[in-house]
Structure 1
Amino acid sequence: MDEMKSKNYAWRKKPRKFAPKSRLGCKTCKIRRIKCDLSRPSCLKCRSTGRTCDGYNEMPLACKAERIQPTQYAREIVDRVDSCDSDHPCTTASAYEPTRWHSKYHDLNLQNLGSLMVLPVTGSTQAEAMYFFQDISIKDLNEYRPCEPWRKILMFFSQTVPAVRHAAMALALIHRNYLDRDSHERGYQSPSWKDRLQDKAPLIHYNRAIELLLNLESGDSAETTAVTLLVCYLFTCFDHLAGDDVQAVKHLRGGVALLRSIETASFSHCTSDNAQSSGVHAILCQVAKQIHHLDMQAVMFLVDWTPANIQETFMSHLALDDSPFRSLDQAADHLQNLLTQVMRLRNTNYQISPTDTMSPLPSSLKDIVLGQLETWSNLFENLLQQDGPSGSDFGTGPLVSLLRLQHTIAWILLNGYGPGREMDYDKFLPQFQQCVALAGEVAAAHQRYSGSSRSTFTPEIGFLPVLYIIGVKCRHPIVRRQVLSILRRQLIREAAWDSISTARVVERVIEIEEGAGGEQMVHCMEQIPVWQRIEALSYTYVRRGPPAARLEITYTFCAREGVHIESLMI
């Protein structure tokens, strides 16, 4: 009997084996305390037993990928990722396995930044937003001057840093809204996306990015500065797409102010084409370069905008003398500075000294810039004629046509500088015709680049302001209508410029100057008298409430007093 009792109670002496709690499994397997096979959307364990799989709780923490060299930067990323909670999970497209992802971007020189942190996915809509950012938004952001290292930086940080991730998702969602809106007007709809996308979704990620940015560790480390500037850049793009150009300019001002607070010497070698940088410093140089481009180009839509260090940059270019260009990118930077000087000269309506400490120049700034434009043209053509594989491809590139277009319009504007000289623009008809031909080449390349006639967006300034200048300053009826044809071909948005508004303003100028609502087309420029020509013109995009958006234009006539204000529906 005793032996029987000992056998009956033997099981009580054995410790009960508890399975470890599953942290990755579905909710049902967690409750049952069994190992989950992690199959999606329902695990096989539940399906094989006829149970209902209650799904998974997404982890708000980053999943560590292949271990490289641990550094302080990697630890900071982990700390920032840990700040994400379950109410605001970090999201990802999870498009790449860690090893493949790092292998694909090894040439970005990021191996010294520590462990690659790939953030987990939390939903098909958010995943699709990241796919869109990686496949379309990044491609469109710097279409005119593609920069592969810059695109890789955006990819890397959008995959690894929560603040940049949410800023990228906000941009992708509003970018997709922008494309869908244009597609809807053309009769095309994307129900699969529209049904899932909520209007507030872009703003949610926008606000979340701000929250995460404010939670970054205090200090002026290069890593924190790079993340802040990246978010600033993405926010500038976001607000331009949202039609809030005022807020976009505020973000740009913030980025420029942050750059100016950094020691200039730390970026001195970034401007050199043969400079070799690595790690965080290379990233910071690339971000600074993109912010600088937007800062220089803002004069194309803001009359009172003064780019940072514009005089110092101009004097550094003057020091080049006749030094040959080493690359197309260097030529583009030099021309952008000259174009900025031209626009500043016209916008301020008076000549300025390149530096405040120098004595007055022996000749006007206008003559100096005209000389520099001629020098640039000679150096540029010499670059295109260089032997070698890189030189042979220049002649057919869209950037070459764009640079020639911008150079020609800068030359026209500077030669027509001064009040009461509207009739002088008639002398530049051959140059205007050349500009229209170049703009047609850029527009055709743009359409090939986008792959279709879909609407596109870029924060860079390309050829829309040039078409605007031609449309309002060249009075030749055929040239003007060629400009309208290019503008109407495809919906394009460049920062605060868009092709629809630009076309509408040019149409109104034609109506005013040609008379009779533009229906009775004039046959030659001389038929438009000086007193009927618009001299100064500006317009503002206004969007208030549900009614259709409109443009408020302000203009004056040559040799006539008075300011005229009109409101145009678009």
Structure 2
Amino acid sequence: MDGMKNKNTKTGNQAWRRKPRKFASKSRLGCKTCKIRRVKCDLSRPSCFKCLSTGRTCDGYSEVPLAFKTEETDIESTHCHKEIVNRADNCDNYYPCTTVSACDSERWHPKYHGLILQNLGSLMILPVTGSTQAELMRFFKDISIKHLNQYRPCEPWRKILMFFSQTVPSVRHAAIALALIHRTYLDRHSNNQAYQSPFLKDRLPDKAPLLHYNHAIQLLLNPEVGDSAVTTAVTLLVCYLFTCFDHLAGDNVQAVKHLRGGVALSCNIDNATLNNCTYDDAQSSGVHAIICQVTKQIRRLDMQAVMFLVDWTPANIQETFMSHLALFDSTFRSLDQAADHLQVLVAQVMRLRNTDQQTSPTGTMPPLPSSHKDIVLGQLQMWLSLFENLLQQGNPSELDFATDPLVPLLRLQHTIAWILLSGYGPGREMEYDNFLSQFQQCVVLAGEVAAAHQRYSGSSRSTFTPEIGFIPVLYIIGVKCRHPIVRRGVLSILRQQPIREAAWDSIYTARVIERVIEIEEGTAREEQMVQCMEQIPVWQRIEALSFTHIPRGQSAARLDITYTFCAREGIHIESLMIEHRESNHVK
């Protein structure tokens, strides 16, 4: 008994040893002060931020920069991935190790000194692991970033994307996942071999994009302790990249979930702050400017989502609408400001239209509220006046308005918004016949935008952007204007180049318009097409129309379309099969 008691006493006295204090592993790259303190150094240069934040003097770094390897643990909480992204795939044992080097951080940081200011915290350059990741990061830099906001290019935004993909692991993996899925999309839809890479095609597994996707989520779920503002910026960036990824992967539902998450996080940021935050302002620097930029991109996608979601309501749409009304003055300061104003007005028009179609899908739609309708129509007219003043006066800081592709795109979007709101009256679908000249003008403008788009991409190969441009506008023209020549002109533009804008795909949109022509004109043969709009009676005209893209692997895709006729009851549902060769071939 005494022996047992002594044993228990000895065990109790040593209980504190069961959980020894955890020291950080020895840092071969850290500053001298952190090495002595045996704490993890954040590797900021020229002085360690961890030392400065605790009031210590940083003794600097060793003369010879070293590299070290850290073994990463297997990803065990797969159920967390399922809850967030509804993915069943696992990432276990995919990343055996990561090589981290701070050799190039001093040489690289000065290039982006405008982005790394007092509040941004300590970041180091993460080198790629192997030639595959190096090629993917080059692809992300040279191709993906270029197209993500091609309708409204913003160099500071592109620098932010590249900077964080170079310095933050979660953003790095999200960027690589997007580059992989983007490259697969281009390879699948392009007739030429410009983007074909035997190295990538032979060595990358089919699950590679999703593995990086899930790993980015894992890193977000277990963030390192740091500045909350930086964490917010990183989370918003990953939400943005995931939205792009899922649109490209054809999972628009998941893309919308990521967009909702980003919008919810961005709602904590004041609208006035966003409106006043520009990179020309010396006060808008560091992490504050970064959050402003990424929030603007998220809010823009949020506002544009009404172009493909009937039940979508942008965050704070009414407050944004009223604040934009208050900002109207003698002229716009830039094309970008004019585009922001128009985007809010287009969202208001689509909400008015979508609300009525949602509440009454069988063709018995009540008239729009005259008060709100008249206000938006007045603002559309005011916008056009201010826009013309901007073009006449010019702006030294802007590109030449005569060659800027944003000018015809804004004219195109404004004209269609005005037609949609003006043409909704007691005559229903027949009233659209009164806007033939405007529809014809829109086809010309769309041709200019398509030509600029083709010049920007360098050829007729497929492109992707999460922003809404002119595909939904062409869709509206194709289903609302019954003039045969105008409709064929729309099809010609859509078939020139495979383009995907968020959930909109030019090839699938063209197929839906072709089906509408078949139904309304009663024939698919060109030689028997109708000669004028009046030949299509009201009872044969499609009024409410929607379609859903259903991916079907590599062989074919399916489009489920739902539509109603004017003056006829009943909802009609059809399925259109899109063969793989059709989506690859541009007529």
TM-score bucket of the superposed structures, by smaller chain? 0.7 to 0.9
In structure 2, give the amino acid aligned to 1:70.
F
The match for 1:527 among 514, 535, 540 is 535
Structure 2 CA distance for aligned equivalents of residues 421 and 204 of structure 1 = 50
In structure 2, give the amino acid aligned to 1:481.
R
Decide whether the 8 Å contact of 1:91 with 1:119 is kept in 2. no
Q: Structure 1 residue 509: deviation in Å?
A: 0.6
Residue 197 (structure 1) aligned with residue 204 (structure 2): yes
Decide whether the 8 Å contact of 1:74 with 1:114 is kept in 2. no
Q: Structure 1 residue 162: deviation in Å?
A: 0.4
Decide whether the 8 Å contact of 1:92 with 1:130 is kept in 2. no
Structure 2 CA distance for aligned equivalents of residues 481 and 197 of structure 1 = 42
Decide whether the 8 Å contact of 1:91 with 1:126 is kept in 2. no
Secondary structure in 2 aligned to 1:457? Answer: strand
Residue 474 (structure 1) aligned with residue 474 (structure 2): no
Decide whether the 8 Å contact of 2:140 with 2:176 is kept in 1. yes
Residue in structure 1 matched with residue 362 of structure 2 by the alignment: none
Q: Which residues of 2 match residues 142-221 of structure 1 at below 5 A? A: 142-183=149-190, 189-217=196-224, 221=228
More deviation, 519-528/181-190 = 181-190
In structure 2, give the amino acid aligned to 1:146.
P
Query: Alpha carbons of 1:187 and 1:220: their partners in 2 closer, same or farther (altered >3 Å)?
Result: closer
State the TM-score, normalizing by the size of structure 1. Answer: 0.81
In structure 1, give the amino acid aligned to 2:558.
R
Residue 448 (structure 1) aligned with residue 448 (structure 2): no
Secondary structure in 1 aligned to 2:354? Answer: helix
Residue 70 (structure 1) aligned with residue 67 (structure 2): no
Percent identity over the alignment?
77
Query: Alpha carbons of 1:304 and 1:362: their partners in 2 closer, same or farther (altered >3 Å)?
Result: closer
More deviation, 480-489/382-391 = 382-391
Query: Alpha carbons of 1:387 and 1:147: their partners in 2 closer, same or farther (altered >3 Å)?
Result: closer
Query: Alpha carbons of 1:451 and 1:101: their partners in 2 closer, same or farther (altered >3 Å)?
Result: farther
In structure 2, give the amino acid aligned to 1:509.
V
Query: Alpha carbons of 1:321 and 1:389: their partners in 2 closer, same or farther (altered >3 Å)?
Result: closer
Structure 2 CA distance for aligned equivalents of residues 503 and 491 of structure 1 = 10
Secondary structure in 1 aligned to 2:309? Answer: coil
The match for 1:554 among 552, 558, 562 is 562
Residue in structure 1 matched with residue 237 of structure 2 by the alignment: 230
Decide whether the 8 Å contact of 1:92 with 1:159 is kept in 2. no
Secondary structure in 2 aligned to 1:308? Answer: coil
Which of the pair has the greater relative contact order for Cα pairs under 8 Å at 6+ separation? 2
Q: Structure 1 residue 257: deviation in Å?
A: 1.1
Query: Alpha carbons of 1:324 and 1:91: their partners in 2 closer, same or farther (altered >3 Å)?
Result: farther
Decide whether the 8 Å contact of 1:339 with 1:407 is kept in 2. yes
State the TM-score, normalizing by the size of structure 2. Answer: 0.78
Query: Alpha carbons of 1:342 and 1:245: their partners in 2 closer, same or farther (altered >3 Å)?
Result: same
Structure 1 CA distance for aligned equivalents of residues 564 and 455 of structure 2 = 39
Residue 569 (structure 1) aligned with residue 548 (structure 2): no
Decide whether the 8 Å contact of 2:70 with 2:97 is kept in 1. no
Residue 406 (structure 1) aligned with residue 413 (structure 2): yes
Residue in structure 1 matched with residue 497 of structure 2 by the alignment: 490
Decide whether the 8 Å contact of 1:102 with 1:116 is kept in 2. no
Query: Alpha carbons of 1:230 and 1:301: their partners in 2 closer, same or farther (altered >3 Å)?
Result: same
Structure 2 CA distance for aligned equivalents of residues 85 and 215 of structure 1 = 12
Query: Alpha carbons of 1:235 and 1:322: their partners in 2 closer, same or farther (altered >3 Å)?
Result: same
Q: Which residues of 2 match residues 65-144 of structure 1 at below 5 A? A: 66-67=45-46, 70=49, 88=95, 97-108=104-115, 110=117, 113-144=120-151
Decide whether the 8 Å contact of 2:279 with 2:285 is kept in 1. no
Q: Which ranges in structure 1 are unaligned for 5 or more consecutive residues?
A: 1-20, 25-60, 76-80, 353-360
Aligned residues: 501
Query: Alpha carbons of 1:201 and 1:230: their partners in 2 closer, same or farther (altered >3 Å)?
Result: same
Decide whether the 8 Å contact of 2:229 with 2:287 is kept in 1. yes
In structure 2, give the amino acid aligned to 1:325.
F
Q: Structure 1 residue 421: deviation in Å?
A: 1.3
Structure 1 CA distance for aligned equivalents of residues 251 and 397 of structure 2 = 40
More deviation, 259-268/399-408 = 259-268
Residue 507 (structure 1) aligned with residue 514 (structure 2): yes
Secondary structure in 1 aligned to 2:530? Answer: coil
Structure 2 CA distance for aligned equivalents of residues 235 and 371 of structure 1 = 38
Q: Structure 1 residue 216: deviation in Å?
A: 1.1
Secondary structure in 2 aligned to 1:364? Answer: helix
Q: Which residues of 2 match residues 414-433 of structure 1 at below 5 A? A: 414-418=421-425, 420-433=427-440
Decide whether the 8 Å contact of 1:159 with 1:165 is kept in 2. yes
In structure 2, give the amino acid aligned to 1:67.
P
More deviation, 516-525/216-225 = 216-225
Larger radius of gyration: 1
Decide whether the 8 Å contact of 1:74 with 1:113 is kept in 2. no
Structure 2 CA distance for aligned equivalents of residues 112 and 174 of structure 1 = 34
The match for 1:541 among 532, 537, 549 is 549
Query: Alpha carbons of 1:431 and 1:346: their partners in 2 closer, same or farther (altered >3 Å)?
Result: same
Secondary structure in 2 aligned to 1:396? Answer: coil
Residue 459 (structure 1) aligned with residue 461 (structure 2): no
Q: Structure 1 residue 98: deviation in Å?
A: 3.6
Q: Which residues of 2 match residues 302-451 of structure 1 at below 5 A? A: 302-349=309-356, 364-390=371-397, 393-418=400-425, 420-451=427-458
In structure 2, give the amino acid aligned to 1:156.
F
Q: Structure 1 residue 67: deviation in Å?
A: 2.7
Decide whether the 8 Å contact of 2:538 with 2:566 is kept in 1. yes
Q: Structure 1 residue 191: deviation in Å?
A: 2.4
Structure 2 CA distance for aligned equivalents of residues 146 and 543 of structure 1 = 30
Query: Alpha carbons of 1:293 and 1:72: their partners in 2 closer, same or farther (altered >3 Å)?
Result: farther
Structure 2 CA distance for aligned equivalents of residues 106 and 188 of structure 1 = 33
In structure 2, give the amino acid aligned to 1:193.
L
Structure 2 CA distance for aligned equivalents of residues 334 and 91 of structure 1 = 46
Query: Alpha carbons of 1:73 and 1:260: their partners in 2 closer, same or farther (altered >3 Å)?
Result: farther
Structure 1 CA distance for aligned equivalents of residues 454 and 323 of structure 2 = 36
Query: Alpha carbons of 1:385 and 1:187: their partners in 2 closer, same or farther (altered >3 Å)?
Result: closer
Backbone CA RMSD of aligned residues? 3.3
Residue in structure 2 matched with residue 295 of structure 1 by the alignment: 302
Structure 2 CA distance for aligned equivalents of residues 344 and 89 of structure 1 = 49
Decide whether the 8 Å contact of 2:559 with 2:577 is kept in 1. yes
Decide whether the 8 Å contact of 2:49 with 2:121 is kept in 1. yes
Query: Alpha carbons of 1:284 and 1:393: their partners in 2 closer, same or farther (altered >3 Å)?
Result: same
Decide whether the 8 Å contact of 1:342 with 1:410 is kept in 2. yes
Q: Structure 1 residue 129: deviation in Å?
A: 0.8
Structure 1 CA distance for aligned equivalents of residues 420 and 451 of structure 2 = 25
Structure 1 CA distance for aligned equivalents of residues 563 and 510 of structure 2 = 16
Structure 2 CA distance for aligned equivalents of residues 396 and 415 of structure 1 = 30
Structure 1 CA distance for aligned equivalents of residues 100 and 475 of structure 2 = 40
Secondary structure in 1 aligned to 2:327? Answer: coil
In structure 2, give the amino acid aligned to 1:569.
M
In structure 1, give the amino acid aligned to 2:202.
D
Q: Structure 1 residue 122: deviation in Å?
A: 1.2
Decide whether the 8 Å contact of 2:43 with 2:124 is kept in 1. yes
Secondary structure in 2 aligned to 1:517? Answer: coil
In structure 1, give the amino acid aligned to 2:523.
A
Decide whether the 8 Å contact of 1:71 with 1:114 is kept in 2. no
Deviations 1:173-219 (A, max 9, x none): 00000011113698995423311222110000000000000001579
Secondary structure in 2 aligned to 1:555? Answer: strand
Q: Which ranges in structure 2 are unaligned for 5 or more consecutive residues?
A: 1-25, 30-39, 55-68, 75-92, 360-367, 579-587
Q: Structure 1 residue 327: deviation in Å?
A: 1.2
Structure 2 CA distance for aligned equivalents of residues 410 and 453 of structure 1 = 28
In structure 2, give the amino acid aligned to 1:152.
K
